[in-house]
Amino acid sequence: MRTLIKQVLASKEPRDGLVVQGWVRTRRDAKGFSFLELNDGSCLANLQVIVDAATPGAADLPRLTTGASVSVGGALVPSPASGQKWEMRASQLELVGAADASYPLQKKGHSMEFLRTIAHLRPRSNLFGAVFRTRSRLAYAVHQFFQERDFVYVHTPIITASDCEGAGEMFRVTALKGNIDEQPQTDFFGRRAYLTVSGQLEAETFACALSNVYTFGPTFRAENSNTARHAAEFWMIEPEMAFCDLDGDMALGEEFIKAMARFALEQCSEDMALFAKFVDRGITERLRFVIERPFQRVPYTEAIAILEQCGRRFEFPVAYGQNLQSEHERFLTEEHCKSPVTVYNYPREIKPFYMRLNEDGKTVTAMDVLVPGIGEVIGGSQREERLDALEENLRHHKLDPKDYWWYLDLRRYGSVPHAGFGLGFERLLMFLTGVSNIRDVVPFARTPGSAEF
């Protein structure tokens, strides 16, 4: 019966009759015996295994090279040498699968770029093992956060006919051959269909029935974006709350990010220590700071004023009515506030149709949470719940209200103020781990021109 190395290393006393199975990280030969560093991915640390030359199976030792898979039976004993608390004395050794000299992962450090080219093997490296264990734990934390607060998890559709306008280009889904635009009514769904760019519109319908809901699933954007923080396929978290205004929305976003930072530090400490050592030396202090301090809340108008008066010369000019450029966002969060910043109440012209118009008639209840190093990590708003205002907004954006009949129905029947946001899971992971390229927090990244694995 196999025991995971994580459990073996957590042992309180010596144990016998253990079986561990994993991959050889390195082998060091001594006189009459060998040291094996064994890793099975259950934790960052390796298990040091002592294999005496007389151990059954020891004849295979020369083939137990870096990358080979093995099964080892033996006893857990205190290690006489410093460097590890426990080690295993093998009583039986079996080579399961050899790895010859062409195995590309070496004992020494590799560049992130090189590891990306071997995405099928990089989870066997310390860094990517840590990244993907952390990703798994945080996915759990996301559900825990919402479930504890009585949010209902909604599986919004991945294939959709509706365009959540403003969210970017969509991938077409079709069963047609040849010209797919000639007779879209003959297509599988009887209309044009796409991969979802957001579950928001559907989530709103469930919030207007179950009160507090969230989605957590894959999202697709066909934008030709070539940056370290964009992927064509990513996972998005979208809470939606009925009877909630923009203040409540901003409060939830802040609470959520703080909870995730706390979870990472407390529940992923071994892997986080690796990130702090090799990826981002300041990550621990940065997350502590985020947890302890309130986020700065700055209306868009005030943000413009800060940027205009800061004395900094920006490559792109600061002007009311324009979107904040990356350099502006970075200045606000990294230099002016030195903490996450929530910018809210944007001009209506630069935001999508579903955001609620403020009393001033010029701004909408949009909010973006900006974090140091990443930029925008949350984009949200209070939704327009007034039927006439929403219809006018649709026309304002040159959209046909008929295409949004079911969305408008929510405003016809028992309409309520409601609000929500979208949060990129990968960007959250980047923020929490310090990993600076989104391709390195996705198991198999999909980006323009790249879907090899």
Partner RNA sequence: UCCAGAGUAGCUCAAUGGUAGAGCAGCCGGCUGUUAACCGGCGGGUUACAGGUUCGAGCCCUGUCUCUGGAGCCA
Asked if 319 touches RNA (CB under 7 A), the answer is: no
Cβ of residue 450: shortest distance to RNA, in angstroms?
5
The pair of three-digit structure tokens given for residue 204, joined into one six-digit string:
């709103």
Asked if 211 touches RNA (CB under 7 A), the answer is: no
Q: How far from 385 is each of 358, 398, 407, 410, CA to CA, in Å?
A: 12, 19, 10, 8
* Contact between residue 1 and residue 15 where contact means Cβ atoms under 8 Å apart: no
Nearer to RNA, 220 or 404 (CB): 220
Asked if 245 touches RNA (CB under 7 A), the answer is: no
Nearer to RNA, 211 or 322 (CB): 322
Contacts 24+ apart (CB under 8 A), 101-110: 101/65, 103/65, 103/66, 103/67, 105/66, 105/67, 106/66, 107/25, 107/26, 107/66
> Could you give the count of Cα atoms lying within 13 Å of 206 in the half-sphere of its Cβ?
20
Cβ of residue 172: shortest distance to RNA, in angstroms?
17
Buried/exposed 381-404: b ≥16 CB within 10 Å, e otherwise? bbbbbeeeebbebbeeeebeeeeb
Asked if 60 touches RNA (CB under 7 A), the answer is: no
* Per-residue interface string for the shown chain with RNA, residues 391-430, x marking contact by CB under 7 A: -------------------------------xxx-xx---
Asked if 86 touches RNA (CB under 7 A), the answer is: no
The full length of the chain comes to: 453
Q: With CB under 7 A as the contact rule, which of the stretches 75-83, 205-213, 263-271, 286-294 interacts with RNA?
A: 75-83
Q: Which of 1, 12, 13, 30 binds RNA (CB under 7 A)?
A: 30
* Dihedral sign of CA atoms 272, 277, 283, 288 in order: positive
* Contact between residue 417 and residue 382 where contact means Cβ atoms under 8 Å apart: yes
C-beta atoms surrounding 96 within 10 Å: 11
Nearer to RNA, 191 or 312 (CB): 312
Q: With CB under 7 A as the contact rule, which of the stretches 5-13, 160-168, 282-290, 353-361 interacts with RNA?
A: 160-168
Q: Which of 65, 205, 267, 301 binds RNA (CB under 7 A)?
A: 65
Nearer to RNA, 322 or 387 (CB): 322
Cβ of residue 412: shortest distance to RNA, in angstroms?
26
Task: Identify the CA nearest to 207 among candidates 421, 419, 427, 453.
Answer: 419
> Could you give the count of Cα atoms lying within 13 Å of 128 in the half-sphere of its Cβ?
25
Which residues of the shown chain bind RNA in the complex (CB under 7 A)? Answer: 26, 28-31, 35, 37, 48, 50, 62, 65-66, 79-84, 87, 101, 104, 106-111, 113-114, 116, 166-168, 198, 221, 223-232, 234, 236, 316, 323, 325-327, 330, 375-379, 422-424, 426-427, 436-439, 448-450
